[in-house]
Structures are given as C-alpha cells and as structure tokens.
Amino acid sequence: MASLELKNIVKRYKSQTVLDNLSLTVADGETLVLFGPSGAGKTVLLRLVAGVIDPDEGKILIGGEDMTDVDAEFRGVGMAFQNFALFPHMTAFDNIATPLQARHSSQGTIKAGVESVAKLLKIGHVLSHKPRALSNGQKQRTALARALVGAPPLLLLDDPLRNVDAKLRFEMRLELPRLLADRGATVVYVTQDYKEAMALGDRIAVMSQGVVKQLGTPEQIYREPANIEIARLFGDPTINLLDVKPARDARGIYVGLSNVQVHLAGAPETAIGRDCIIGLRPEALHFVGENEPGAIPVTVEAETPLNEKIVTLVRTVRGREILVSRPAGTPGETEGKAHIAVDSKSALLFDHASGERIGSKNVVSLRNGEAA
C-alpha cells in the first residue's frame, strides 16, 4: 500500500554530492530510522521523498507508484519538521487543519479530525492559540498533529524531538512508538540521537556523507556495527577503542591488553597478525578479583553515577583510559587498584587501517557505489 522505495538517488548541490547513488526500501507499516551526523543527507532525503526538492538522478516509488516527478501536494505524505515549520499567522487549529482543507473536507469533518488528533496529542486546550503563544512542546505536538491528521500512509518525521527540552523528549520517546504503531503508517524517522533511533526503529539506516553505511535492526547495529564510526555513535558512554594485534595460541585467538592475554571467543581467523582496534563497550567490562583468568590490573580514576548506571574511568598500567559501566546498585571498585575482565563474546574487532569491522558475519552492510 504505502511502501517506499528509493532507487539510485543522486542529489548534488553545485559540485557537492549530498546523496550518492542511494537505494533504500521501507516496507509497508515499517518504521525506518535514518540516523547519522548532521550533513549526512538525512533531511535532504526526506525532502526528496516529500517532493519539495527533486533528485538529480534516480526514482522514488511510493506504494509501488513512481512519484519522482509528482508535485508534493499529490504524494499524500505527512511530514513533521525539525523546526516545526508552523504557519505563524494561523492558529494551532488552522495549522493542523491544512491537510484536511486541501481535500476540501466539510467543516464538520475538519473540526472532528483536528479535535481527535489534538486530543490524542494533548493539545486540545491550545487550539485557538497562534504558534507564537505556544510552548516548544506544544509547537512540536502541533506539528506532529498536522502531519498525522490526514492519516497519510507515509509519514516523514524530521528529527521532531530535536528542539524540545530533555523532559519532553523523554516522554515523547516513550509515547511516539505507540502512536506510530496505532496509525499503521509507514514511517521514515530522522534523528541524531541513537537512543531515539533504537527506541523507535524497526530498522535503522546509518547514514554518513550521503550514503547508507549500515542498515539493520537496532540490535544488529548495536551488536555488529559495520565500522568504528558506527560503533562510536551508538552507545553511551562511548565504546572503548584500543589498538591490538590479535595472535593465536593453543587456546585460540587472543589479544594483549596491558600484558594480559585476553582470549576472544569467536574472533575471526582473518584478524590474526593484523593491526586491529578492539572495541569494548563499557558494559562489556566488569570488575573482577585479582586471580580471575584474564584479569587486567587498572587504577580507578573517577566514578560518575548516572541515572541507571555507574560509569567508572580506569587507567591501565600502560596509561590507557577505559570506561567501565555497571548497573546502578551493583557492587564495584570505587578507588585505588582494581582488576577488570572482558566479556569476550561482545568484543568487536576493527581493521586499523579501514575502520571496518572484521568478520562481519551477520551484518547487513550496504555499500553504495564505491566504498567511502
């Protein structure tokens, strides 16, 4: 019904290529999150789908129908903008009503439609206000209501939580998945916040410099990032990255961390003898007793309690700093000498030169055109 298909999209601004031969498919009813740093081309991609800018090459299919040359008003999509893009001279009601007015719905239908979506988003009491008189949160909900009111089969959400305060963002992050699921619409959601991406996406497309670097479920992206860059972007605190050169002995493949041989279960053979970077998520590290196998001696430097976890900064005997995370309320070293061990199954190995993950067995990695 409203699947979305992008075929070999190219978009250039002057000499700069913003989208480079990009292809992507979103199934009907699926929520795809476009994740990436600013300038990756996420917003441009969304606008191409909406039809307000045109691709230089490639095709856009919505519900199987070629929409590449169809004007925005005939594509039947709903879109919410990062900066809300509310019409400043209209009340919230009129803002939300615009998609219904475009269909020449009757006054009664418009009123009922606007009020039901406003109720859903808890802005029923501010419908008579102009955007100027709305709080940021109300603006954001109004923008969302405008995108939802026409029940579009394809919904484009451009970082809608970017410009709202932390509390509201937290609430909406819980609220939005249910809201989107209820609608049954196909959703393309742009964000720069990995937690949002993980919470909302059926799948996540990680974009960088106009290409999709990795496409997969949130679990896949987190567990098997295609490269160091992606591993760094997902996870808080960020992943620890250490230079290693894997070797093999009788017990299998191991790496040397602070003169301790740490064996990695399931590490690929191809890594042996190569200059590598090992990626250790803070939660894949834990404090252990001195005599445990693979215990690495460290010095505790600082401890930061976050809400649901405690992050400890430790220093190895070689002077490298490492972050260790543990759930709040669990015991751990707080100062002085300590030992940590690696949960070897979740260790990630990356090629030092290219940054690509080695042995990406289950990772769906899309490379468009030439690899970046």
Partner 1 sequence: MQHTSLLERILRGIALTLVVIFFMFPIVWIFMMSFQTNETILRIPPQLVFEPTLANYTALITGKLTTAAGTLDIAFMRNLWNSVFLSVTSVAVALLLGVPAAYAFARHKFRGSEDIAFTLLSFRFAPALLVLLPLTLYFQKLGLANTYIGLIWVYQLICLPLILWIVRGYFEDIPADIEYAYRIAGHSWFATFRKIALPLAGPGIAAAGLLAFIFAWNNFVFALVLASADKQPVTVGALAFITSSGIQYGQISAAIVLSITPTLALALYAQRYLVEGLSLGAVKG
Partner 2 sequence: MTAATMQRNRPSGFRISKRVLPYVLSLPALLVCIGILIPFFTSVVYSFQRYRLSQPWARQFNWGDNYISFFTDPKFWNTLQVSLLYAGITVLLELLLGLAIAMLLQKRSTLNNFISIMLLMPLMTAPALAALMWKLMTNPGFGVLSYLASLIGLQDFRWASSPSTALFTVVLVDIWVYTPFIMILLLAGLRSLPTQPFEAAALDGVPRSFVFFRITLPMLTPYILTATLFRLLDSIQQFDIIYAMTQGGPGDTLTVFQVEAYLNFFQSTNVGRSAALMIILWAITYFLSNIFIKNWLRLRERARGLA
Reduced 3-state DSSP string for 315-363: EECCCCEEEEEEECCCCCCCCEEEEEEECHHHCEEEECCCCEECCCCCC
In terms of DSSP H, where are the helices of the chain? 42-50, 92-102, 107-120, 136-148, 166-183, 194-200, 218-223, 228-233
**Minimal distance, residue 180 CB to partner 2, in Å:** 17
Which partner in partner 1, partner 2, none is near 146 (CB below 5 to 8 A by kind)? partner 1
Residue 314 interacts, among partner 1, partner 2, none and using kind-specific CB cut-offs from 5 to 8 Å, with none
Q: Which does 98 bind (CB under 5 to 8 A by kind): partner 1, partner 2, none?
A: partner 1
Q: What DSSP character marks residue 226?
A: S
324 strand-pairing partners: 312
The correct pick among 63, 297, 355, 359 for binding partner 2 (CB under 8 A) is 63
Q: Which stretch binds partner 2 (CB under 8 A): 33-41, 65-73, 199-207, 294-302?
A: 65-73
- Rounded Cα distance between 85 and 81, Å, is 6
Q: Would you tell me how many other CB atoms lie within 10 Å of the CB of residue 170?
A: 13
Q: Which amino acid is at 300?
A: V
Of 77 and 205, the one with the shorter C-beta distance to partner 2 is 77
CB 211 within 8 A of CB 372: yes
The option from partner 1, partner 2, none interacting with 50 (CB < 5 to 8 A, set by class) reads: partner 1
CA–CA distance, 146 with 78 (Å, rounded to integer):
8
| Burial degree of 276 (CB within 10 A; 0-12, 13-18, 19+) | buried
58 binds partner 2 (CB under 8 A): no
Q: Helices then strands (H, E): number in the chain?
A: 8, 21
Least gap, CB of 264 to partner 1 (angstroms): 48
Q: Which does 288 bind (CB under 5 to 8 A by kind): partner 2, partner 1, none?
A: none
Q: Which does 70 bind (CB under 5 to 8 A by kind): partner 2, partner 1, none?
A: partner 2
Site string for partner 2, 141-180 (x = CB under 8 A): ---------xxxx---------------------------
Per CB under 8 A, which region of 57-65, 189-197, 265-273, 304-312 contacts partner 2? 57-65
Give the shortest CB-73-to-partner 2 separation in angstroms: 8
Q: Closest CB to partner 1 among 87 and 170? A: 87
Binding partner selected for residue 88 from partner 1, partner 2, none, CB under the kind-specific 5 to 8 Å limit: partner 1
Candidates 112, 82, 85, 84; CA nearest to 97 is 112
Give the residue, chosen from 11, 42, 47, 75, that forms a contact with partner 2 under the rule CB under 8 A.
75
Compute CA 45 distance to the chain's CA centroid, rounded to the nearest angstrom: 15
Comparison of 40 and 77: residue with beta carbon closer to partner 2: 77
Q: Which residues bind partner 1 (CB under 8 A)?
A: 47, 50-52, 71-79, 81, 83, 85-89, 98-99, 102-103, 146, 150
Residues with Cβ < 8 Å from 119, sequence gap 6 or more? none
Query: Which are the contacts of 329, defined by CB distance < 8 A and separation ≥ 6?
Result: none
Binds partner 2 (CB under 8 A): choice among 14, 74, 132, 290: 74
Site string for partner 2, 86-125 (x = CB under 8 A): -----------------x----------------------
**Partner that binds at residue 153, options partner 2, partner 1, none, CB closer than 5 to 8 Å by kind:** partner 2
Residue whose C-alpha is closest to residue 350's, from 233, 247, 271, 253: 271
Q: Which residues bind partner 2 (CB under 8 A)?
A: 1-2, 54, 62-65, 70-71, 74-76, 103, 150-153
